[in-house]
Amino acid sequence: MSIRDFMTKNLIVVQPDIKIFDAVDLMKKNDIHRLPVVENERLVGLLTEGTIQAAMPSQATSLSVYEVNYLLNKTTAADIMIKNVQTIDPDSLLEEGIYQMRKNNVGVLPVVDGQNELIGIITNNDIFDAFLKITGYNDGGTRVQLRIPEDHKGILAAIAQLLAENDYSILTVVVNRKELETIIELQIESREADKIRQLLASAGYDILEATLVTKRED
């Protein structure tokens, strides 16, 4: 899975000369928390709720309301935006995006091509959606967890063949390797949880769990 598969493509962007008051209104109207700043379709900065809040005068300021409003009306995105923006290539692995977010303690990565042209954005919410999709959370069916002894080569092929021979389709597979064992989690396109459990148990597999998963609409 790549960043391109899960990034948001329909973006709301601003120019560097937008006034802060206008940027705040834009965020509120569209219920968003950050705005990429572009010039000639190239990313030049990032405006966030945090940068805007940091630019606001302190409540302890001696400035009058008129003076505060005057200053804010003069302030533009270019004055306070993040200029050294962490970005990512659209063809990078999804895991690379997660790693960059964790490493740099950011919740968003603008997605740019080789010419620094902004083509998308990926946020922590997009990452959560990707996780739900990869694990099959919204698809429904039967979720099965199997405990597999370490170094059991060909086990996935054997399980897939057994299920296929009994007319069951696998929606997703998640493999969790531990020190002495491996946990394989399958989501199967069927609600026959008891039959699937019996099938796998009869074949000698150690079943930790076999439960129904409710299909969820977006």
pLDDT tens digit sequence for 144-183: 999 987 767 888 999 999 999 999 999 999 888 877 788 9
Q: What's the pLDDT at 89?
A: 95
CA 3, CA 109: separation in Å to the nearest integer? 10
Closest by CA position to 134, among listed 81, 86, 98, 104: 98
Which residue carries 């531990």 as its tokens? Answer: 178
Q: What's the pLDDT at 137?
A: 79
CA dihedral 196, 200, 201, 206 (to 10 degrees): -120
Q: What's the pLDDT at 197?
A: 95
The DSSP element (H or E) to which 147 belongs, if any, is strand 141-149
Q: What's the pLDDT at 72?
A: 67
Entry pTM: 0.76
DSSP H stretches of helix in the chain = 3-6, 20-30, 49-55, 65-74, 77-80, 94-104, 124-135, 155-165, 193-202
Q: What's the pLDDT at 74?
A: 78
Q: What's the pLDDT at 9?
A: 92
CA 65, CA 71: separation in Å to the nearest integer? 10
Q: What's the pLDDT at 59?
A: 47
Strand 42-48 and strand 206-213: the pairing is unpaired
pLDDT, block means (10 residues), the chain with 218 residues? 92 94 91 93 92 69 56 83 94 95 94 90 93 83 89 86 96 85 92 95 94 78
Determine the 3-state secondary structure of 124 from DSSP: helix
Cross-strand bridge partners of residue 142: 188, 212
The DSSP element (H or E) to which 114 belongs, if any, is none
Q: What's the pLDDT at 68?
A: 58
Q: What's the pLDDT at 60?
A: 44
Q: Are 181 and 140 in contact (CB under 8 A)?
A: no
